[in-house]
Amino acid sequence: MIDLRSDTVTKPGPGMLEAMFSAKVGDDVFREDPTVIELEEKTAQKFGMEDGLFCPSGTMANQIAIKAHTQPGDELLCDALAHIYNYEGGGISFNSGVQAKLLQGNLGRFTARQVEENINPLQDWLCRTALVAVENTVNRAGGSYYNLAQLKEIAEVCKKNKIRFHMDGARIFNALTETKENPAAYSLLFDSISVCFSKGLGTPAGSVLIGKKEFIRQARRIRKVLGGGMRQAGFLAAAAVYALENNILRLKEDHQRAKRLAEVVRSLPFVESTFPVDTNIIIFSLSDRIKPEDFTDRLAQNKIRVSGFGKQSIRMVTHIDFNDDMLGKTIEVLKNLPM
């Protein structure tokens, strides 16, 4: 089976499993798991941040950040395509009592000017704008990314207006693979970043939320309230430490395979349009005469799985368990689909 539905479908290889089996663990709610502490420190250091918090999922890491940065009745600014708004079960309002003002960005990326124009002045009858959240890379827009200069402009607007700045970095290493920027430069811009290990980095679970010491102290308390305090989580953290050391440089391969797949997809007569493919996500739409279910069924008959992504859209995501042989087979099947 070739599974292109998501970069979350990967399974740990022998090196990662070995690291997990031999992890030193303890009760992390008591702060006694050395591997969790190692992962939190290493992730924070990489981005020049003071401290980190290991969370069961990217959703929880984002939701904890939103809760820590806001008060009920506040507003946050994010793009209309943002994961925190679209795919976290309404958590912004459920967990934090906060509402979202949606910005219409370019492929999921908005500008400093748009932020400036959407900050509410301080009036009793207006929502307090408390937080700006960017997503990097943007899942819903085919893995587009920001560069540091764009983020710096937004950060300056946030600082000037005393607004917190969060990055949903579920695929931050995919972005950094392309920009070749130093992750440590991010610490000057952001109050918090969530970094996911179960996407491109290929671990079974987990995200690390990073920020200043005081923020992480507050975040740790919120994690417990949300039910995310884990005990011998070092077995999972060990996979993430292994991924930090071994699975970042190889992301370039995923991007190259995605670009090759995109070229083929664009050449298919029944494909109407394709998002630019900047990293590892290919989103395209089928012409009206094709039912998306028929397309996905035909691929499934050839042992290839992709996801329907709303209306006529299809998403394919390359990852560590998708190799060159599978790329060759997928291209052959796509080119010969009787549609």
Ligand X SMILES: *Cc1c(COP(=O)(O)O)cnc(C)c1O
φ, ψ for residue 109 (rounded to 5)?
Answer: -115, 125
By CB under 6 A, residue 59 contacts ligand X:
yes
Phi, psi angles (nearest 5°) of residue 56: -65, -30
How near is the Cβ of 57 to ligand X at its closest, in Å? 3
Residue 58 interacting with ligand X (CB under 6 A):
yes
Cβ-based neighbours of 311, under 8 Å, separated by 6 or more: 285, 292
Question: Chain-centre distance of CA 78, in angstroms?
Answer: 14
Structure-block tokens of residue 195: 């970094």
Distance of CA 251 to the CA centre of its chain: 14
Question: Nearest approach, Cβ of 198 to ligand X (angstroms)?
Answer: 6
Q: If binding is defined by CB under 6 A, does position 83 make contact with ligand X? A: yes
Site string for ligand X, 15-54 (x = CB under 6 A): ----------------------------------------
Identified binder of ligand X from the candidate list 3, 33, 75, 135, rule CB under 6 A: 135
Q: CB 58 → ligand X: shortest distance, Å?
A: 2
The CB-of-205 to ligand X minimum distance in angstroms stands at 8
Q: Which is nearer to ligand X, 79 or 334 (CB)?
A: 79
Query: Site size for ligand X, by CB under 6 A?
Result: 12
Q: Give the Cα separation of 130 and 135 in Å (integer).
A: 17
Q: Identify which range of 181-189, 193-201, 276-284, 314-322 contacts ligand X by CB under 6 A.
A: 193-201
Closest-CB residue for ligand X? 58
Give the residue, chosen from 66, 131, 170, 175, that forms a contact with ligand X under the rule CB under 6 A: 170
The CB-of-124 to ligand X minimum distance in angstroms stands at 34
Structure tokens at 80: 């209309």
Query: Which member of 43, 63, 95, 139 binds ligand X (CB under 6 A)?
Result: 139
- Which residue's CB is nearer to ligand X, number 58 or number 234? 58
Under the binding rule (CB under 6 A), the answer on residue 65 touching ligand X is no
Helix (H, G, I), strand (E, B) or coil at 280: coil
* Cβ neighbours around 298 below 10 Å, total: 16
Q: Where are the alpha helices (DSSP H) in 47-193?
A: 58-69, 83-86, 91-96, 112-118, 148-160, 172-179
The span from the CA of 175 to the CA of 198, in Å, is: 16
Q: What is the DSSP letter of 316?
A: E
- Residues making contact with ligand X (CB under 6 A): 57-59, 62, 83, 135, 139, 168, 170, 196, 198-199
